[in-house]
Structure 1
Amino acid sequence: MLIILLLISPNSSKDSPCQSLNVSLTQKIDNEGFHRELKWLLERGPTSLQCKLAIRLDVGPEMYLNPDQIADLNRLGHLSVLIVGDVDVEAPAHLSKGHITYIYVPPFAERVSLNVPFHLRYQRAQISGGYGKVIVNKPSVLALSPQSEIKAPCDISNGVLCSWRNVSYQALFDEVELLVPVGDLDDYPLVSIVTLLLGCAGCIYTLSVLSTTPL
């Protein structure tokens, strides 16, 4: 009897609906300029609705998710997002580090829409100006799986690590490359001279006012 149970147990695990998922992901980016929004539509089969899924996005140094903005969306129940890593929203791209984001998919729905706001960072100025490139990394889809070796937070509380596995999914989108305007170094000498002259003029005016004001 024990031998039969041991033989059945692995097979039942392999036949679990969470082991063979049929998932597709559509991605669209809305808005222009430095403030954008990732729009995902995740679709899965009806037999896997009880499986816990999450989307992992590796965010490069050229962009960021605002922790305060994400916290508000979490609090209002619009999203369930965890940011792993420190995020300096004021730093330019060349002084920033990337961070990892987990977007937890609401359960028991075949179609789930997720709208995640993100922001592009200012990039270092270059000769002749122009535009810098920002690559939006392809997201990974994870499924909770006790037998897997990938460790990631169970939920947005980030209190406990769970075992997850990568899910192969149908990506209904192409790789995204965004453009962000950068400063023009050709104008640097002119800007420096004008700034210096304005600073000197301000100092002279301040001294003249102080010298004519009775103590």
Structure 2
Amino acid sequence: MFIFSKILIVFASISFAASNSCSFSVKIKQILHNEGFHSFFRNLTYNIEFLDEEDEPKPLFRSCVVGLDQTLPAGVFANPDELGDLRRVNKVNAIPKNPVNIESSAEQSSPTSVYVVGKVLGAHVNLWMPVHARYHKAAAGGGQTRTTLPPPRLHLKCPDARLDACDPAVARPVTFLCSSSLKDKCNWKEIQYVMITDTPFWDVPIGNTDHYRVVSIGTALVITVGSMYVLKAILDYKNDNDKKYD
């Protein structure tokens, strides 16, 4: 009877722990910071909070790892070389999912994805990555074109099986950052969340084809004047040297 009671207590504890692990909510702030065309000025940041049923911080996931799958539309890209440099100095843990041609225009490009990974500290995690805007084809009248950055997919991986008992509607098993051959050992879960910020967007200027003739003439004049100045400087230098040795 004593052993049976202990077994019941253990099962009750496991059931309580599983229930406690599954009763949480996640809120995300996704913000595109600063102004400018390139990543020296523009960072896409994520502030992720784990909360209990009363909207209070829930530090139950401090040993877990968050993985974001961020889709970038054709007009925006993350530079793989830049991400690699930031990973080497432990500033950003972001990995491009697709090959990226950083030289192609928006019209010649396709959407890409980037994985952004970080460890939960207490009841929150802050992640970020640098992003660039692509050049767009010039159009009559010029102006701006708006690129909207969609919300990411959120994944959570814990060192134990605390999320395995959760309803798939709360924590759906997925294959994320692991090969199909290791699918049985891949314990990532896709987590539903609430986005509490407006969808970020990027207004990118585009060229005005109506200015083509003026720009072409101005460019030709600048090249001509610059070339003449350089030739004059070369001739003056040559004449000065000739006088020294006469």
Q: TM over 0.5, yes or no?
A: yes
* Structure 1 stretches of 4+ moved >4 Å: 11-14, 16-20, 145-149, 192-199
Match of 1:129 among 142, 157, 179: 142
Shift of 1:170: 2.2
In 1, the alpha carbon distance for the partners of 2:204 and 2:33 equals 14
1:37 and 2:50 correspond: no
**Residue of structure 1 equivalent to 2:174:** 150
**Residue of structure 2 equivalent to 1:28:** 31
Structure having the higher helix fraction is 2
In 1, the alpha carbon distance for the partners of 2:84 and 2:139 equals 35
**Residue of structure 1 equivalent to 2:231:** none
**Residue of structure 2 equivalent to 1:80:** 93
Unaligned runs of 5+ in 1: 206-215
Alpha-carbon spacing, 1:20–1:81, altered in 2? closer, same or farther (3 Å)? farther
Shift of 1:178: 1.4
Shift of 1:109: 3.3
Does the 8 Å CA contact 1:21/1:167 hold for their aligned counterparts?
no
In 2, the alpha carbon distance for the partners of 1:172 and 1:130 equals 30
Shift of 1:174: 0.7
1:174 and 2:198 correspond: yes
Residue-by-residue CA offset, 1:93-126 (whole Å, 9 max, x unaligned)? 1111221111112144322222311011111111
In 1, the alpha carbon distance for the partners of 2:75 and 2:201 equals 12
In 1, the alpha carbon distance for the partners of 2:123 and 2:173 equals 27
Alpha-carbon spacing, 1:169–1:193, altered in 2? closer, same or farther (3 Å)? same
TM superposition score normalised by structure 1: 0.75
Most deviating of 55-64 and 106-115 = 106-115
Alpha-carbon spacing, 1:114–1:41, altered in 2? closer, same or farther (3 Å)? same
**Residue of structure 2 equivalent to 1:95:** 108
Shift of 1:60: 1.0
Paired amino acid for 1:40:
Y
Shift of 1:63: 0.4
**Residue of structure 1 equivalent to 2:60:** 47
In 1, the alpha carbon distance for the partners of 2:78 and 2:182 equals 22
TM superposition score normalised by structure 2: 0.66
Paired amino acid for 1:72:
D
Shift of 1:25: 1.1
Paired amino acid for 1:39:
T
Partner SS state of residue 119, structure 2: coil
Does the 8 Å CA contact 1:18/1:51 hold for their aligned counterparts?
no
Does the 8 Å CA contact 2:100/2:112 hold for their aligned counterparts?
yes
Most deviating of 143-152 and 38-47 = 143-152
Query: Kindly, what percent of the aligned residue pairs are identical?
Result: 27
In 2, the alpha carbon distance for the partners of 1:160 and 1:93 equals 36
In 2, the alpha carbon distance for the partners of 1:92 and 1:13 equals 54
Shift of 1:46: 1.0
**Residue of structure 2 equivalent to 1:115:** 128
Paired amino acid for 2:194:
Q
For the aligned residue pairs, the C-alpha RMSD in angstroms reads 3.4
Shift of 1:15: 2.2
